[in-house]
Structure 1
Amino acid sequence: MMQILWTPEMIAFFLISLAILACAVMLLSFQKVIYMALAIGGVFIGCAALYILLGAEFVGISQVLIYAGAITILLMFAIMLTNHEAVEPEARWTVRRVFSALGCLALAAVLWFVIRSVQWPQGDAATDINQGHPNAVAIGLMLFKTYTIPFELVSLLLIVALVGAVILARPPKEGE
Protein backbone atom coordinates (compact mmCIF):
# COMPACT_ATOMS: atom_id res chain seq x y z
CA MET A 1 0.00 0.00 0.00
CA MET A 2 1.32 3.42 -0.97
CA GLN A 3 2.00 5.95 1.79
CA ILE A 4 0.79 9.54 1.46
CA LEU A 5 3.60 12.06 1.25
CA TRP A 6 2.47 15.03 3.37
CA THR A 7 3.64 18.00 1.33
CA PRO A 8 2.14 21.49 1.71
CA GLU A 9 0.24 20.92 -1.55
CA MET A 10 -1.26 17.67 -0.19
CA ILE A 11 -2.32 19.39 3.03
CA ALA A 12 -3.87 22.23 1.01
CA PHE A 13 -5.69 19.65 -1.14
CA PHE A 14 -7.21 17.96 1.89
CA LEU A 15 -8.20 21.28 3.48
CA ILE A 16 -9.83 22.52 0.28
CA SER A 17 -11.59 19.17 -0.17
CA LEU A 18 -12.86 19.36 3.39
CA ALA A 19 -14.18 22.88 2.75
CA ILE A 20 -15.95 21.69 -0.43
CA LEU A 21 -17.54 18.80 1.44
CA ALA A 22 -18.61 21.12 4.27
CA CYS A 23 -20.26 23.51 1.80
CA ALA A 24 -21.96 20.57 0.06
CA VAL A 25 -23.33 19.27 3.37
CA MET A 26 -24.52 22.79 4.25
CA LEU A 27 -26.20 22.98 0.84
CA LEU A 28 -28.14 19.82 1.60
CA SER A 29 -29.00 20.75 5.17
CA PHE A 30 -30.15 24.36 4.81
CA GLN A 31 -33.88 25.08 4.76
CA LYS A 32 -33.74 28.49 3.07
CA VAL A 33 -33.03 28.51 -0.63
CA ILE A 34 -30.92 31.67 -0.45
CA TYR A 35 -28.50 29.97 1.93
CA MET A 36 -28.37 27.00 -0.43
CA ALA A 37 -27.30 29.31 -3.25
CA LEU A 38 -24.53 30.74 -1.07
CA ALA A 39 -23.38 27.24 -0.11
CA ILE A 40 -23.19 26.17 -3.75
CA GLY A 41 -21.12 29.31 -4.37
CA GLY A 42 -18.72 27.98 -1.73
CA VAL A 43 -18.53 24.66 -3.56
CA PHE A 44 -17.74 26.47 -6.83
CA ILE A 45 -14.98 28.53 -5.19
CA GLY A 46 -13.50 25.41 -3.59
CA CYS A 47 -13.44 23.65 -6.96
CA ALA A 48 -11.69 26.68 -8.45
CA ALA A 49 -9.10 26.49 -5.67
CA LEU A 50 -8.48 22.82 -6.54
CA TYR A 51 -7.99 23.72 -10.21
CA ILE A 52 -5.49 26.40 -9.28
CA LEU A 53 -3.71 24.00 -6.92
CA LEU A 54 -3.42 21.47 -9.76
CA GLY A 55 -1.83 24.03 -12.08
CA ALA A 56 -4.85 24.81 -14.25
CA GLU A 57 -4.97 28.52 -13.50
CA PHE A 58 -7.07 29.40 -16.53
CA VAL A 59 -9.74 26.84 -15.64
CA GLY A 60 -9.71 27.98 -11.99
CA ILE A 61 -10.19 31.64 -12.87
CA SER A 62 -12.90 30.69 -15.38
CA GLN A 63 -14.60 28.68 -12.64
CA VAL A 64 -14.63 31.73 -10.37
CA LEU A 65 -15.89 34.07 -13.09
CA ILE A 66 -18.52 31.80 -14.60
CA TYR A 67 -19.79 29.59 -11.80
CA ALA A 68 -18.98 31.35 -8.54
CA GLY A 69 -19.78 34.73 -10.05
CA ALA A 70 -22.37 34.55 -12.79
CA ILE A 71 -24.26 31.34 -11.97
CA THR A 72 -24.48 32.03 -8.23
CA ILE A 73 -25.71 35.59 -8.85
CA LEU A 74 -28.21 34.27 -11.39
CA LEU A 75 -29.48 31.78 -8.80
CA MET A 76 -29.78 34.55 -6.21
CA PHE A 77 -31.82 36.73 -8.58
CA ALA A 78 -34.05 33.81 -9.57
CA ILE A 79 -34.66 32.96 -5.94
CA MET A 80 -35.41 36.54 -4.98
CA LEU A 81 -37.80 37.06 -7.90
CA THR A 82 -39.82 33.91 -7.22
CA ASN A 83 -41.83 32.86 -4.19
CA HIS A 84 -40.34 29.93 -2.29
CA GLU A 85 -42.13 28.71 0.79
CA ALA A 86 -39.99 26.48 2.97
CA VAL A 87 -41.54 23.10 3.70
CA GLU A 88 -40.49 21.67 7.05
CA PRO A 89 -39.22 18.10 6.48
CA GLU A 90 -39.65 15.35 9.02
CA ALA A 91 -36.58 15.08 11.22
CA ARG A 92 -36.90 11.43 12.20
CA TRP A 93 -34.93 8.47 10.99
CA THR A 94 -36.86 6.04 8.83
CA VAL A 95 -35.75 2.66 7.52
CA ARG A 96 -35.18 4.22 4.11
CA ARG A 97 -32.91 6.91 5.55
CA VAL A 98 -30.91 4.38 7.56
CA PHE A 99 -30.35 2.19 4.48
CA SER A 100 -29.46 5.27 2.42
CA ALA A 101 -26.85 6.30 4.98
CA LEU A 102 -25.44 2.76 5.10
CA GLY A 103 -25.34 2.65 1.30
CA CYS A 104 -23.44 5.96 1.20
CA LEU A 105 -20.92 4.67 3.72
CA ALA A 106 -20.49 1.44 1.75
CA LEU A 107 -19.98 3.38 -1.49
CA ALA A 108 -17.42 5.62 0.21
CA ALA A 109 -15.54 2.57 1.51
CA VAL A 110 -15.51 0.89 -1.90
CA LEU A 111 -14.32 4.08 -3.60
CA TRP A 112 -11.60 4.53 -0.96
CA PHE A 113 -10.25 1.00 -1.46
CA VAL A 114 -10.41 1.21 -5.27
CA ILE A 115 -8.67 4.59 -5.39
CA ARG A 116 -5.97 3.41 -2.97
CA SER A 117 -5.31 0.19 -4.92
CA VAL A 118 -4.85 1.77 -8.38
CA GLN A 119 -1.32 2.49 -9.58
CA TRP A 120 -1.69 6.02 -10.94
CA PRO A 121 0.61 6.98 -13.83
CA GLN A 122 3.15 9.67 -13.13
CA GLY A 123 3.59 12.45 -15.68
CA ASP A 124 6.96 13.54 -16.99
CA ALA A 125 8.27 16.34 -19.16
CA ALA A 126 8.15 14.19 -22.31
CA THR A 127 4.37 13.80 -22.09
CA ASP A 128 3.64 17.44 -21.22
CA ILE A 129 0.57 18.44 -23.24
CA ASN A 130 1.33 22.15 -22.86
CA GLN A 131 4.50 21.73 -24.95
CA GLY A 132 6.13 24.73 -23.30
CA HIS A 133 3.16 27.08 -23.78
CA PRO A 134 1.42 28.90 -20.92
CA ASN A 135 -1.78 27.26 -19.68
CA ALA A 136 -4.26 29.53 -21.53
CA VAL A 137 -2.31 29.30 -24.80
CA ALA A 138 -2.17 25.50 -24.56
CA ILE A 139 -5.94 25.34 -23.97
CA GLY A 140 -6.58 27.60 -26.96
CA LEU A 141 -4.31 25.54 -29.22
CA MET A 142 -5.96 22.29 -28.16
CA LEU A 143 -9.47 23.73 -28.62
CA PHE A 144 -8.91 25.17 -32.06
CA LYS A 145 -6.45 22.63 -33.51
CA THR A 146 -6.91 19.25 -31.90
CA TYR A 147 -10.51 19.42 -30.67
CA THR A 148 -12.17 21.75 -33.18
CA ILE A 149 -15.01 19.40 -34.18
CA PRO A 150 -15.94 18.37 -30.60
CA PHE A 151 -15.80 22.05 -29.57
CA GLU A 152 -18.25 23.02 -32.33
CA LEU A 153 -20.51 20.05 -31.56
CA VAL A 154 -20.69 21.06 -27.89
CA SER A 155 -21.59 24.63 -28.88
CA LEU A 156 -24.31 23.27 -31.18
CA LEU A 157 -25.62 21.09 -28.35
CA LEU A 158 -25.74 24.11 -26.03
CA ILE A 159 -27.67 26.14 -28.60
CA VAL A 160 -30.20 23.32 -29.04
CA ALA A 161 -30.56 23.07 -25.24
CA LEU A 162 -31.10 26.83 -25.00
CA VAL A 163 -33.79 26.78 -27.70
CA GLY A 164 -35.45 23.82 -25.98
CA ALA A 165 -35.42 25.64 -22.63
CA VAL A 166 -37.01 28.72 -24.21
CA ILE A 167 -39.71 26.61 -25.84
CA LEU A 168 -40.45 24.80 -22.58
CA ALA A 169 -40.51 28.02 -20.54
CA ARG A 170 -42.79 30.07 -22.79
CA PRO A 171 -46.37 30.48 -21.62
CA PRO A 172 -48.94 28.43 -23.52
CA LYS A 173 -51.04 30.26 -26.09
CA GLU A 174 -54.79 30.29 -25.81
CA GLY A 175 -56.23 27.16 -27.31
CA GLU A 176 -53.17 24.96 -26.54
Structure 2
Amino acid sequence: MEVNDIIFYIFGAITAISALYIMLTRNILYAAFALILTFIGVAGIYVFLGAEFIAVTQILVYVGGILILLVFGIMLTNRLSGKKVVSPAYHKLMGLIVAGGLFAILFKGILEANFSALNWIDKSKGAESSIPKFGLTLMTDYVLVFEIIGVLLLLALIGAVRIAGKTRKEVNDAL
Protein backbone atom coordinates (compact mmCIF):
# COMPACT_ATOMS: atom_id res chain seq x y z
CA MET A 1 0.00 0.00 0.00
CA GLU A 2 1.38 3.38 -1.01
CA VAL A 3 1.48 6.56 1.04
CA ASN A 4 -1.16 8.17 -1.21
CA ASP A 5 -3.55 5.31 -0.52
CA ILE A 6 -3.01 5.61 3.23
CA ILE A 7 -3.66 9.36 3.20
CA PHE A 8 -6.76 8.84 1.04
CA TYR A 9 -8.13 6.29 3.53
CA ILE A 10 -7.35 8.65 6.41
CA PHE A 11 -9.42 11.39 4.76
CA GLY A 12 -12.19 8.87 4.09
CA ALA A 13 -12.13 7.73 7.73
CA ILE A 14 -12.21 11.33 8.99
CA THR A 15 -15.21 12.03 6.77
CA ALA A 16 -17.08 8.87 7.76
CA ILE A 17 -16.39 9.12 11.50
CA SER A 18 -17.36 12.79 11.71
CA ALA A 19 -20.53 12.12 9.67
CA LEU A 20 -21.45 9.31 12.08
CA TYR A 21 -20.80 11.63 15.01
CA ILE A 22 -23.15 14.19 13.48
CA MET A 23 -25.88 11.55 13.28
CA LEU A 24 -25.40 10.29 16.82
CA THR A 25 -24.78 13.44 18.87
CA ARG A 26 -27.53 15.43 20.51
CA ASN A 27 -25.41 18.56 20.99
CA ILE A 28 -25.91 20.81 17.98
CA LEU A 29 -22.71 22.79 18.53
CA TYR A 30 -20.59 19.62 18.52
CA ALA A 31 -22.47 18.47 15.42
CA ALA A 32 -21.55 21.74 13.68
CA PHE A 33 -17.88 21.27 14.56
CA ALA A 34 -18.04 17.70 13.29
CA LEU A 35 -19.62 18.99 10.08
CA ILE A 36 -16.59 21.24 9.61
CA LEU A 37 -14.39 18.13 9.90
CA THR A 38 -16.61 16.30 7.41
CA PHE A 39 -16.31 19.07 4.84
CA ILE A 40 -12.54 19.22 5.28
CA GLY A 41 -12.35 15.45 4.79
CA VAL A 42 -14.44 15.68 1.63
CA ALA A 43 -12.16 18.48 0.37
CA GLY A 44 -9.17 16.20 0.98
CA ILE A 45 -10.83 13.47 -1.06
CA TYR A 46 -11.44 15.99 -3.87
CA VAL A 47 -7.72 16.80 -3.87
CA PHE A 48 -6.88 13.12 -4.34
CA LEU A 49 -9.37 12.93 -7.21
CA GLY A 50 -7.55 15.76 -8.97
CA ALA A 51 -10.28 18.35 -8.39
CA GLU A 52 -8.28 20.96 -6.49
CA PHE A 53 -10.59 23.80 -7.55
CA ILE A 54 -13.64 22.05 -6.11
CA ALA A 55 -11.71 21.27 -2.90
CA VAL A 56 -10.81 24.92 -2.40
CA THR A 57 -14.36 25.98 -3.24
CA GLN A 58 -15.67 23.40 -0.74
CA ILE A 59 -13.56 24.88 2.04
CA LEU A 60 -14.26 28.51 1.14
CA VAL A 61 -18.00 28.22 0.66
CA TYR A 62 -19.06 25.58 3.15
CA VAL A 63 -16.49 25.80 5.93
CA GLY A 64 -15.73 29.49 5.52
CA GLY A 65 -19.25 30.70 4.98
CA ILE A 66 -22.18 28.50 5.82
CA LEU A 67 -20.76 26.66 8.82
CA ILE A 68 -19.38 29.80 10.42
CA LEU A 69 -22.85 31.35 10.14
CA LEU A 70 -24.31 28.17 11.63
CA VAL A 71 -21.89 28.21 14.55
CA PHE A 72 -22.58 31.91 15.21
CA GLY A 73 -26.33 31.23 15.11
CA ILE A 74 -25.94 28.38 17.58
CA MET A 75 -23.79 30.43 19.92
CA LEU A 76 -26.16 33.41 19.77
CA THR A 77 -29.15 31.22 20.64
CA ASN A 78 -27.33 29.11 23.21
CA ARG A 79 -29.58 30.53 25.94
CA LEU A 80 -32.30 28.11 24.80
CA SER A 81 -30.25 25.04 25.73
CA GLY A 82 -32.63 23.91 28.47
CA LYS A 83 -35.77 24.28 26.38
CA LYS A 84 -37.11 22.25 23.50
CA VAL A 85 -36.56 24.21 20.31
CA VAL A 86 -39.43 23.77 17.86
CA SER A 87 -39.45 25.25 14.41
CA PRO A 88 -43.05 25.56 13.27
CA ALA A 89 -43.82 25.25 9.58
CA TYR A 90 -46.02 27.89 8.01
CA HIS A 91 -47.96 27.51 4.76
CA LYS A 92 -46.92 23.92 4.04
CA LEU A 93 -49.29 23.47 1.11
CA MET A 94 -48.29 26.73 -0.55
CA GLY A 95 -44.62 25.90 -0.09
CA LEU A 96 -45.13 22.47 -1.63
CA ILE A 97 -46.97 23.95 -4.61
CA VAL A 98 -44.33 26.63 -5.23
CA ALA A 99 -41.44 24.17 -4.82
CA GLY A 100 -43.07 21.61 -7.11
CA GLY A 101 -43.83 24.22 -9.76
CA LEU A 102 -40.31 25.63 -9.64
CA PHE A 103 -38.85 22.13 -9.88
CA ALA A 104 -41.07 21.29 -12.88
CA ILE A 105 -40.10 24.49 -14.71
CA LEU A 106 -36.37 24.03 -14.09
CA PHE A 107 -36.47 20.33 -14.96
CA LYS A 108 -38.35 20.97 -18.21
CA GLY A 109 -35.95 23.77 -19.15
CA ILE A 110 -32.90 21.59 -18.56
CA LEU A 111 -34.34 18.70 -20.57
CA GLU A 112 -35.30 20.88 -23.52
CA ALA A 113 -32.11 22.98 -23.60
CA ASN A 114 -29.82 22.48 -26.59
CA PHE A 115 -26.42 23.14 -25.05
CA SER A 116 -24.49 21.98 -28.10
CA ALA A 117 -25.86 24.90 -30.14
CA LEU A 118 -24.16 27.50 -27.96
CA ASN A 119 -21.09 29.19 -29.50
CA TRP A 120 -18.98 29.32 -26.35
CA ILE A 121 -19.06 25.52 -26.02
CA ASP A 122 -17.26 25.06 -29.35
CA LYS A 123 -14.62 27.63 -28.37
CA SER A 124 -13.90 26.04 -24.99
CA LYS A 125 -13.61 22.47 -26.31
CA GLY A 126 -10.23 23.24 -27.85
CA ALA A 127 -8.87 25.03 -24.76
CA GLU A 128 -5.63 23.84 -23.19
CA SER A 129 -6.40 24.83 -19.60
CA SER A 130 -8.54 22.68 -17.33
CA ILE A 131 -10.56 25.66 -16.05
CA PRO A 132 -12.55 26.12 -19.31
CA LYS A 133 -13.16 22.38 -19.45
CA PHE A 134 -14.34 22.48 -15.84
CA GLY A 135 -16.65 25.40 -16.64
CA LEU A 136 -18.02 23.63 -19.69
CA THR A 137 -18.71 20.45 -17.73
CA LEU A 138 -20.25 22.43 -14.87
CA MET A 139 -22.61 24.38 -17.12
CA THR A 140 -23.68 21.43 -19.30
CA ASP A 141 -23.53 18.07 -17.53
CA TYR A 142 -23.89 19.35 -13.96
CA VAL A 143 -26.09 22.42 -14.42
CA LEU A 144 -28.90 20.99 -12.26
CA VAL A 145 -26.52 20.28 -9.39
CA PHE A 146 -25.03 23.77 -9.78
CA GLU A 147 -28.48 25.36 -9.53
CA ILE A 148 -29.43 23.23 -6.52
CA ILE A 149 -26.24 24.36 -4.73
CA GLY A 150 -27.17 27.98 -5.50
CA VAL A 151 -30.63 27.49 -3.98
CA LEU A 152 -29.07 25.77 -0.94
CA LEU A 153 -26.73 28.72 -0.38
CA LEU A 154 -29.66 31.12 -0.68
CA LEU A 155 -31.64 29.12 1.90
CA ALA A 156 -28.65 29.10 4.27
CA LEU A 157 -28.40 32.88 3.98
CA ILE A 158 -32.13 33.33 4.62
CA GLY A 159 -31.91 31.01 7.64
CA ALA A 160 -28.96 32.95 9.06
CA VAL A 161 -30.83 36.25 8.66
CA ARG A 162 -33.90 34.76 10.35
CA ILE A 163 -31.83 33.43 13.26
CA ALA A 164 -30.09 36.78 13.66
CA GLY A 165 -33.42 38.64 13.50
CA LYS A 166 -34.97 36.48 16.23
CA THR A 167 -31.90 36.86 18.43
CA ARG A 168 -31.90 40.65 18.06
CA LYS A 169 -35.61 40.76 18.94
CA GLU A 170 -35.00 38.63 22.06
CA VAL A 171 -32.17 40.94 23.16
CA ASN A 172 -34.33 44.04 22.65
CA ASP A 173 -37.21 42.45 24.59
CA ALA A 174 -34.86 41.60 27.47
CA LEU A 175 -33.64 45.20 27.69
Q: Distance in 1 between matches of 2:11 and 2:126?
A: 29
Q: Distance in 2 between matches of 1:131 and 1:137?
A: 9
Q: Distance in 1 between matches of 2:55 and 2:126?
A: 20
| Conservation of the 8 A alpha-carbon contact between 1:16 and 1:50 | yes
Alignment of 1:89-100 (within 5 A): none
Alignment TM-score, normalising by the size of structure 2 = 0.52
Residues 141 and 13 (structure 1), Cα distance of their counterparts in 2 relative to 1, 3 Å cut: same
1:158 paired residue number: 151
Alignment TM-score, normalising by the size of structure 1 = 0.52
The Cα shift of 1:35 comes to 1.3
AA partner of residue 69 (structure 2): L
| Conservation of the 8 A alpha-carbon contact between 1:56 and 1:135 | no
| Conservation of the 8 A alpha-carbon contact between 2:36 and 2:67 | yes
| Conservation of the 8 A alpha-carbon contact between 1:20 and 1:43 | yes
1:39 to 17, 34, 44: 34
SS of residue in 2 equivalent to 1:31: coil
| Conservation of the 8 A alpha-carbon contact between 1:51 and 1:60 | yes
- Identical aligned residues as a percent: 29
Q: After superposition, give the CA deviation of every residue in 1:102-131 in whole Å (9 maximum; x if it has no partner).
A: xxxxxxxxxxxxxxxxxxxxxxxxxxxx97
Q: Does 1:85 align with 2:81?
A: yes
Unaligned runs of 5+ residues in structure 1 are 1-5, 88-129, 172-176
| Conservation of the 8 A alpha-carbon contact between 2:138 and 2:146 | no
| Conservation of the 8 A alpha-carbon contact between 1:58 and 1:135 | no
Alignment of 1:105-116 (within 5 A): none
Structure (1 or 2) with the greater helix fraction? 2
1:23 paired residue number: 18
**Structure with max Cα Rg:** 1
Name the count of aligned residue pairs.
Answer: 117
Q: CA RMSD in A?
A: 3.7
Q: Does 1:61 align with 2:56?
A: yes
Q: Distance in 2 between matches of 1:50 and 1:27?
A: 19
Residues 51 and 133 (structure 1), Cα distance of their counterparts in 2 relative to 1, 3 Å cut: farther
Q: Distance in 1 between matches of 2:50 and 2:18?
A: 23
